[in-house]
Structure 1
Amino acid sequence: MSESTAQKARAVIERALSGIDEELERHAAGQGRMSSPGQLASIREQLTQMAQQLSAPHLPPKEQRLRGVGRVIADSWPYDNALGGLILEAEQLYLRA
């Protein structure tokens, strides 16, 4: 039995949240490499809301779901950044769930 898209989305979101937390810790130590703490916190908040929706009994209709974090990543992060790729994957899975 394969995982549902919602389960996959939750798993990828959790990995992305861990990556964001690690990057925020690097910023706190003065060694941040990606983005700014404010932007990372905003992305983290949106991913957390996505995870909460995926855990709820019913997801909002697709046209009402959270979106936009992928655009921020695509527009301002390096294309080869692993965390950025994980965040993009998380948003796409969430939107398909």
Structure 2
Amino acid sequence: MSRPAAQKALDATERALSGVDEELERHATGQGSVSSAGQLTWIRSQLTRIADQLASPELPPKEQRACGVGRVITDSWPCDSRLSAAILEAEQLYLKA
């Protein structure tokens, strides 16, 4: 694992988490535009797990890394969502780190 690659992935994951938090706030006021609060909460927990792994000294082997968020997004979210792009980028960078 390359620390610069892990840091890049961590930065992207933190941006994605921020976007998820903003969308959860919009859902709380009845103005959410993507997904549901429940699904966003699950995605947030997965991204938090990814961030924790990226911040640790050792990442798990690639075949044991958390994934699946991207599948949920590509199956049901709008293609033009900036939040979906941020989450997909974070997951891809994590899987490559």
Shorter-chain TM band: over 0.9
Cα RMSD for the two superposed structures: 0.9
- Give how far 1:58 is off: 0.7
The alignment of Structure 1 onto Structure 2 pairs a total of residues equal to 95
- Give how far 1:6 is off: 0.7
Alignment-derived partner of residue 70 in structure 2:
70
Q: TM-score, normalised by structure 2?
A: 0.95
Q: TM-score, normalised by structure 1?
A: 0.95
- The SS at the match of 1:4 is helix
Alignment-derived partner of residue 58 in structure 1:
58
Gaps of 5+ in 2: none
Alignment-derived partner of residue 21 in structure 2:
21
Runs (4+) of structure 1 exceeding 2 A deviation are none
- Give how far 1:5 is off: 1.2
Gaps of 5+ in 1: none
Distance (whole Å) between structure 1 residues aligned to residue 65 and residue 71 of structure 2: 15
- Give how far 1:79 is off: 0.9
Residue by residue over 1:73-95, the C-alpha shift from the partner in whole angstroms, topping out at 9 and shown as x without a partner, is 11111111100000000000000
Q: Report percent identity of matched pairs.
A: 67
Distance (whole Å) between structure 1 residues aligned to residue 54 and residue 13 of structure 2: 10
Distance (whole Å) between structure 1 residues aligned to residue 92 and residue 22 of structure 2: 22
